[in-house]
């Protein structure tokens, strides 16, 4: 009989190996940022996404090699895994990542046992170890006291404590700009609202490690003053001379929500105790579930675990039915939703009809491309699940018919349950085409401004949406436009953006077919207006802001910059918020390193 304690130890060793590697990438990010090695930073972020699955496979291989599981009877197997789980809990008493280790145990267990044989008794359906008040040593955040020490001195101390090994462009200028931003936020009612009195507990708390993403390093913290908690995020960027500077200061929950949005790539941040970081972030991201916060800091598997627990809890406390999601039905996916729950469920159709020229493997490849790519705040992240069992009674009759007709290879139905073999889950957004139908003039103007910005920012990240119809974009609660239909997505540098050749004669002019050769990746921006801008209001708003998108010149210029090795900066906040825009005249001219 294999030893349950030895199996538990083997699984925990596998997790600890994974988390050491996970943290090492975040620790490397600081040096890569200091050296301006953006290519390596992006590559390490991509590689880290696969770490978890690789370590799970390694752990399964080791257990299959070292323990004779095949000879066990059903009763012996049940007893072994229940005991292994109990032993695993005992090993987590002083562990700093117990919640993530439990998820790893679940992944290994379900890989080893066929779904017909594993039971909820074998896995952590609920947490086995509490993470409340868990912290690292040294603590996950530092506290500073501006009432006693002065705000400028505190800001200088915060900068010093992060220990960036590169010169500061003009530290006194940046500190003064932060102070001015605080004053402006107070005067304008954006944050630190009146009446504002200094309370005895007035302090600034800052998470101990920087958050790295793309070409930025972010200070993340909060201001505590009595019962008020004000979020703070300060992006640090690096200029062409290798000096760093503060680009802006963000003080509102909405700006923080965009920064930690499901539409961005995952942060690289070194966390000994991730639960402590997530608990801190929840205090400045009200309404954002822990599942999305864990995902945003790179712990996507833990995010999936928490999402599924929350989803099952919601099912128990609701009685509405799954229905087809609103919007135009797609040719590639069947999409459904639970109206009382803010997510959509996407299944690939068994047969993808003409004019689509793709298949299941290609569609899954496109979704994996998005998972690994920099989403620049403009592509929705997805959670990918397999073997999802849901109660049949919660499905509308029409949806069940649609699933059985169009997705029978991945959907099994019996009297009690619906088993879905493979599904993508995304945040539910308002389809842009539906939004535009009901928009006021001001809302439409903003939506078209956002739509064009989304396409331009995707282009900056070397992404071409392929199908730019409005139904493939959604509007978030913060009125940002996001792309979410990936079956035709391409690298922009793989596309050829061409002008339409002049017609040779009247017959060419009147022809319904192209009189010129068209390759599979040839794009003709001049022709997009015919199907995107038929509505007068939409056309006028689009042309006011983004007429350049309808010219090959725009796309080819972006291609040339990317092919020349330039990584363009895309900011998770408006240009108008940047200090160089808000405070163009330097406050001081004292340039110095911080000592």
Tell me the C-alpha distance between 160 and 254, whole Å.
28
Reduce the DSSP state of residue 302 to 3 states and report it.
helix
Exposure string (b/e) for 487-506, b if CB count within 10 Å is 16 or more? bbbbebeebebbeeeeeeee
**Angle at Cα 157 formed by Cα 151 and Cα 160, nearest 5°?**
145
Mean per-residue pLDDT for 505-519?
75
Kindly give the interhelix angle for 98-112 and 300-316, rounded to the nearest 10 degrees. 80
Tell me the C-alpha distance between 447 and 465, whole Å.
17
pLDDT at 501 over 90: no
Q: What phi and psi values does residue 221 have, to the nearest 5 degrees?
A: -160, -165
Tell me the C-alpha distance between 92 and 73, whole Å.
29
Tell me the C-alpha distance between 335 and 347, whole Å.
6
Q: Taking Cα atoms as reference points, which of 75, 53, 65 lies closest to residue 7?
A: 65
Which pLDDT does position 587 carry in this prediction? 46
Could you report the per-residue pLDDT of 118-176, keeping only the tens digit for each? 556 788 888 989 898 889 999 999 999 999 999 999 999 999 999 999 999 999 999 99
Sign of CA dihedral 504, 509, 515, 521: positive
| The pairing of beta strand 417-427 with beta strand 411-413 | antiparallel
Length of the chain as a residue count:
595
**β-strand partners of 168:** 244
Tell me the C-alpha distance between 307 and 382, whole Å.
12
Could you report the per-residue pLDDT of 208-245, keeping only the tens digit for each? 999 999 999 999 999 999 999 999 999 999 999 999 99
Which residues are the active-site residues? 381
Q: How confident is the model at residue 592 (pLDDT cuts 50, 70, 90)?
A: very low
Mean per-residue pLDDT for 525-547?
95
Mean per-residue pLDDT for 450-476?
95
Q: Confirm if 349 and 424 have CB atoms less than 8 A apart.
A: no
Could you report the per-residue pLDDT of 336-365, keeping only the tens digit for each? 999 999 999 999 999 999 999 999 999 999
Sorted by sequence, the CB contacts under 8 Å of residue 73 that are 6+ apart come out as none
Tell me the C-alpha distance between 387 and 426, whole Å.
17
Q: How confident is the model at residue 564 (pLDDT cuts 50, 70, 90)?
A: very high
Residue 546's H or E segment, with its range, is: helix 536-546
Tell me the C-alpha distance between 94 and 137, whole Å.
12
Q: Confirm if 480 and 450 have CB atoms less than 8 A apart.
A: yes
Q: How many CB atoms lie within 10 A of CB 449?
A: 16
Q: How confident is the model at residue 508 (pLDDT cuts 50, 70, 90)?
A: low
- Terminus-to-terminus CA distance in the chain, angstroms? 61
Mean per-residue pLDDT for 52-74?
93
pLDDT at 325 over 50: yes
DSSP structural state of residue 260: T
Tell me the C-alpha distance between 319 and 315, whole Å.
7
CB burial of residue 458 (10 Å; 0-12, 13-18, 19+):
buried
Q: How many CB atoms lie within 10 A of CB 157?
A: 16
Residue 388's H or E segment, with its range, is: strand 383-391
Can you give the residue ranges of every domain in the chain? 4-122, 141-295, 318-428, 432-567
Tell me the C-alpha distance between 113 and 108, whole Å.
9
Q: Confirm if 107 and 25 have CB atoms less than 8 A apart.
A: no
Residue 9's H or E segment, with its range, is: helix 4-35
Radius of gyration of the chain (CA): 26
| The pairing of beta strand 496-497 with beta strand 522-523 | parallel
Which pLDDT does position 520 carry in this prediction? 87
């Amino acid at each position: 009989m294999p030893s349950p304690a030895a199996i538990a130890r083997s699984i925990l060793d596998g997790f600890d190996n994974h988390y050491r590697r996970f943290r090492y990438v975040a620790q490397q990010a600081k040096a890569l940022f200091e050296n301006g090695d953006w290519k390596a930073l992006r590559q390490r972020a991509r590689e880290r996404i696969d770490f978890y699955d690789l370590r799970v496979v390694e752990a399964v291989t080791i257990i299959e090699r070292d323990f004779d599981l095949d000879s066990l009877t059903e009763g012996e197997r049940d007893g072994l895994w229940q005991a292994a789980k109990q032993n695993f809990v005992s090993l987590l008493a002083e562990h700093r990542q117990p919640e993530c280790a439990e998820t790893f145990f679940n992944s290994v267990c379900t890989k080893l046992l066929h779904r017909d044989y594993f039971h909820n008794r074998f896995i952590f359906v609920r947490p086995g170890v509490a993470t409340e008040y868990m912290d690292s040593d040294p603590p996950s955040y530092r506290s500073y006291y501006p009432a006693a020490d002065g705000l400028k001195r505190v800001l200088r101390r915060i900068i010093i404590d992060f220990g960036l090994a590169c010169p500061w462009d003009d530290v006194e200028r940046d500190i003064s700009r932060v102070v001015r931003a605080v004053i402006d936020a107070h005067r304008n009612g954006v944050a630190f609202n009146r009446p504002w009195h200094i309370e005895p507990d007035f302090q600034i708390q800052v998470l101990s490690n920087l958050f790295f993403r793309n070409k930025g390093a972010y200070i993340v913290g909060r201001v505590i003053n009595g019962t008020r908690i004000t979020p703070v995020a300060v992006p640090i960027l690096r200029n062409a001379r290798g000096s760093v500077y503060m680009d802006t200061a963000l003080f509102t929950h909405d700006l923080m929500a965009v920064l930690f949005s499901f539409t961005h790539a995952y942060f690289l941040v070194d966390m000994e105790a991730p639960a402590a970081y997530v608990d801190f972030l929840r205090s400045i991201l009200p309404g954002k579930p822990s599942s999305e916060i864990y995902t945003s800091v790179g712990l996507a598997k833990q995010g999936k675990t928490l999402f599924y627990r929350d989803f099952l809890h919601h099912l128990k406390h609701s009685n509405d039915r799954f229905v087809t999601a609103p919007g135009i039905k797609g040719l590639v996916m069947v999409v459904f939703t639970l109206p009382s729950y803010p997510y959509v469920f996407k299944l690939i159709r068994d047969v993808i009809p003409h004019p689509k020229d793709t298949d299941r493997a290609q569609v899954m490849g496109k979704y994996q491309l998005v998972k690994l790519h920099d989403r620049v705040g403009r592509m929705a992240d997805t959670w990918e699940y397999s073997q999802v069992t849901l109660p049949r009674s919660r499905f509308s009759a029409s949806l069940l018919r649609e699933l059985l007709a169009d997705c029978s290879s991945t959907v099994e139905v019996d009297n009690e349950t619906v088993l879905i073999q493979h599904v993508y889950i995304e945040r539910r957004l308002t389809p842009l085409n539906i939004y535009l139908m009901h928009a006021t003039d001001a809302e439409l103007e903003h939506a078209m401004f956002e739509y064009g910005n989304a396409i331009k920012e995707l282009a900056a990240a070397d992404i071409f949406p392929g199908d730019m119809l409005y139904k493939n974009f959604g509007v978030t609660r913060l009125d940002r436009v996001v792309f979410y239909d990936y079956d035709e997505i391409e690298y922009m540098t793989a596309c050829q953006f061409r002008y339409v050749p002049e017609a040779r004669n009247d017959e060419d002019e009147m022809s319904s077919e192209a009189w010129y050769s068209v390759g599979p990746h040839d794009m003709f921006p001049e022709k997009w207006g015919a199907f995107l801008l038929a509505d007068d209001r939409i056309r006028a708003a689009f042309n006011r802001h983004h007429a350049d998108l309808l010219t090959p010149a725009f796309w080819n210029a972006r291609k040339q910059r990317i092919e020349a090795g330039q990584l363009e900066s895309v900011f998770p906040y408006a240009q108008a918020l940047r200090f160089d825009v808000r405070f163009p005249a330097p406050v001081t001219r004292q340039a110095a390193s911080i000592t």
